[in-house]
Structure 1
Amino acid sequence: MSKSEGLSCRSNDGNESFRNTRINTQISKSVATIRKKKKQDKPIFTYIDLFAGIGGFHSAADALGGECLFASEIDGDAKTAYEANYGIKPFGDITQIDAKEIPDHDILLAGFPCQPFSIIGNRLGFDDIRGTLFFEIARILKKKKPPIFVLENVKQLSTHNKGHTLATIISKLEQLGYKTSWKVLNALDYGVPQKRERTIIVGFKDHSINFEFPQKIKRKTLEQILEDEDDIDAKHFASETIVSKRIATHKSKHEVAIWHENKSGNISSYPYSCALRAGASYNYLLVNGRRRLTPRELLRLQGFPDSFKIVCNDSQTRKQAGNAVPVSMVKEVLKQVLYAASKTER
């Protein structure tokens, strides 16, 4: 672990010295508290969780023996849920954290937003990524040099700006000394009944490591993730008038299905859910045309265990689930990461 020397946020304000010391102390206390709470003397690996949301990466990594040393998330409600479930209060705006104050770690995990880069070209510096949230990942990788990183983004990253955005990201990661691989994976192929395609980028400092993305695994059925309707609050059900209209319009081929009703009123149905979206999923995803998905069902569709505590209101929980990293999918990726790294160590 790196020794803290006082957080130097990017400001020349004379009042920053007190703030720097305070945040530095908070980080040190946070790491000490995390280690004290852990039952295991030595984790299999340590990691940091950037743009953490409600901890999709955290849930997957902890299940594999990882120990989170630092987390960052800017949304207040997501931070509340994260702390309630993992006992770690994420730090806020990552742009205000000096990379040298982040603890040394084995794996950097980050689900970051897709943003365009303003300058076309493959420059040797960081000027063409400055001002984006990927820049924050790059500057931490540059300073901390963790052996491994795993990044998650939307499927469209692979084609964004005619492929230039992803090409720029890969170029910068390689300039930082990482052997990098990427692939679009679908959560539907990794344990959950949700069609959610995501771009996954994996990198290793050790170029001798041969990494392969995970093979598909059997997924849970909708029946396995849906709650007993006798236990579901009436507020999630549509009126009989609306249900009758839907059923008259659409005949599903599946006994248990998620109906997708678009803005035009057209309905399609599948034995799985289409991708959850922050806030919107509640309105257009319907269980057998009769009711909306509950917060617990939305979390299950992302692979969160039922032990995950719901501490925010329904609206916020729906938003959090829609923004989350698919736990079961990134867990399979991390398994492969650990396997590839262990083969090299033998």
Structure 2
Amino acid sequence: MIFNKGELFSGPGGLSLGAQSAEVISPTGELFRVQHRWANDYDPAACETFRHNICPDNPESVIEGDVRALDIESLPPIDAFSFGFPCNDYSNVGEKKGFNGDFGPLYTYGVKVLNIHRPLWFIAENVGGLESANEGEAFIKILSDLEQAGYNITPHLYKFHEYGVPQARQRIIIVGIRKDLGLQFRVPKPTHGPGNYRTSKHALEDPPIPANATNQEYTNHQSKVIEMLTHIPPGENAWYDGLPEHLRLNVKKTKISQIYKRLHPDKPAYTVTGSGGGGTHMYHYAVPRALTNRERARLQTFPDKYEFLGGKEAVRKQIGMAVPPMGAKVIVEAILKTFARVPYNSIEAKWTFDNTKEEITLVKNRVREESIGYVVK
């Protein structure tokens, strides 16, 4: 079975790349996979990157523009849908305006797609801060709207480093399967843990980045920044106690931990971000410099052949805002197994949602070693 997928807030295509990489063979020999049908994003450079890598033979399928002006009813029919609705107003970094911000209500356009096009399944993605936005009311409202659109929903906080991504990145992923299908998605069991996490050194050096790789521009640093970085050990930041006095930053307010923080070669990287001024560009563990965009893309599990289009800062933004393709592949593969009736190990989702009471119940994570990845009513 081939699922034709539409996507809102598609960014540079990380989720779509992961989805297209997932394939499952059913017990009867049928191939289950996903293919691109259409996508929308307001960022011109991200749209160009998506077209260039995901659908070079069908560039008109990527619709550039504000989702609020999109004619959703006229979009081609789809079997699957994904939307990483903007996280600006839910992030733990910033003012956390939730529904009161400019971006908070944009998830409703994803709900509109579900109500109009009725795809068989969907994936919704956002930052972990969504759970606490508007004192938790935003999360409940979003889950309620998705469930009322006619879907069995499974919300979970995915820690991507537990699935082979060389980066400590946590995101809330909500998977929904249409209720009339009689299927229930289960969270795939993590594949990595202490002792076998993929490290930043593994990501950047195994194999080495080719000399002709794209998006490999280096940052021109001031001599003082280079000197400071030489005194900061791997895993430490600008607030390291051993930093000479003349290199210390004069900051009186909150000291953000990622300022001039160097990667640790033996640990997953800290979270790749798409914005921020000096000191927030991520810094190499062995060389006193900021990472290149290609190195950031490696930490996000994009292959070297995936070329990002646009200026240097536009590319940085695209990479930081993207869903790691490897993480997306794990989730989509579990969805395909659910439809193909292929068993897989799973764990309890972090949350269960009872829409009759409009409340979220926290569930302790525990591995279900013998579970099968679907439930037929």
TM-score when scaled to structure 1? 0.74
Instruction: Tell me by how many angstroms 1:280 deviates.
Output: 2.7
1:274 maps to: 270
Counterpart among 172, 175, 185 of residue 211 in structure 1? 185
Distance in 2 between residues matched to 1:261 and 1:105, nearest whole Å = 49
Q: Is residue 2:137 matched to residue 1:139?
A: no
Which segments of 5 or more consecutive residues in structure 1 lack a partner in the other structure?
A: 1-42, 119-128, 253-257
Counterpart among 4, 9, 13 of residue 55 in structure 1? 13
**Counterpart residue type for residue 330 of structure 1:** A
**Counterpart residue type for residue 77 of structure 1:** A
**Counterpart residue type for residue 286 of structure 1:** Y
Which segments of 5 or more consecutive residues in structure 2 lack a partner in the other structure?
A: 23-32, 90-97, 240-250, 342-373
Q: Is the Cα–Cα contact under 8 Å of residues 260 and 286 in structure 1 kept in the other structure?
A: no
Distance in 2 between residues matched to 1:267 and 1:299, nearest whole Å = 18
1:84 maps to: 52
Query: Could you say what secondary structure the match of 1:182 adopts?
Result: strand
Distance in 2 between residues matched to 1:281 and 1:107, nearest whole Å = 37
2:149 maps to: 176
Distance in 2 between residues matched to 1:342 and 1:234, nearest whole Å = 44
Structure 1 residues 149-164: aligned runs within 5 Å = 149-164=122-137
CA displacement 1:191-215 (0-9 Å, x = unmatched): 2211111010011113631321122
2:358 maps to: none
2:36 maps to: 68
1:94 maps to: 67
Counterpart among 308, 311, 315 of residue 310 in structure 1? 308
1:340 maps to: 338
Structure 1 residues 278-289: aligned runs within 5 Å = 278-280=274-276, 283-284=279-280, 285-288=282-285
Would the alpha carbon gap of residues 235 and 191 (structure 1) be closer, same or farther in structure 2, given more than 3 Å must change?
same
Distance in 1 between residues matched to 2:171 and 2:316, nearest whole Å = 19
CA displacement 1:183-234 (0-9 Å, x = unmatched): 1112211222111110100111136313211221245332232265995978
Instruction: Tell me by how many angstroms 1:44 deviates.
Output: 2.5
Q: Is the Cα–Cα contact under 8 Å of residues 229 and 260 in structure 2 kept in the other structure?
A: no
Choose between structure 1 and 2: higher helix proportion.
1
CA displacement 1:224-256 (0-9 Å, x = unmatched): 3226599597843756654444443x444xxxx
Would the alpha carbon gap of residues 333 and 274 (structure 1) be closer, same or farther in structure 2, given more than 3 Å must change?
same
CA displacement 1:10-43 (0-9 Å, x = unmatched): xxxxxxxxxxxxxxxxxxxxxxxxxxxxxxxxx6
C-alpha RMSD of the superposition: 3.0
Distance in 1 between residues matched to 2:74 and 2:210, nearest whole Å = 51
Structure 1 residues 234-313: aligned runs within 5 Å = 235-236=218-219, 238=221, 242-248=225-231, 250-252=232-234, 260-261=237-238, 264=255, 270=264, 271-280=267-276, 283-284=279-280, 285-288=282-285, 290-313=288-311
State percent identity of aligned pairs.
Answer: 26
Q: Is the Cα–Cα contact under 8 Å of residues 261 and 268 in structure 1 kept in the other structure?
A: no
Counterpart among 322, 325, 328 of residue 327 in structure 1? 325
Instruction: Tell me by how many angstroms 1:181 deviates.
Output: 1.1
Asked which structure has the greater RCO (Cα within 8 Å, sep 6+), the reply is: 2
Distance in 1 between residues matched to 2:15 and 2:340, nearest whole Å = 20
Instruction: Tell me by how many angstroms 1:291 deviates.
Output: 1.4
TM-score when scaled to structure 2? 0.68
Distance in 2 between residues matched to 1:198 and 1:111, nearest whole Å = 10
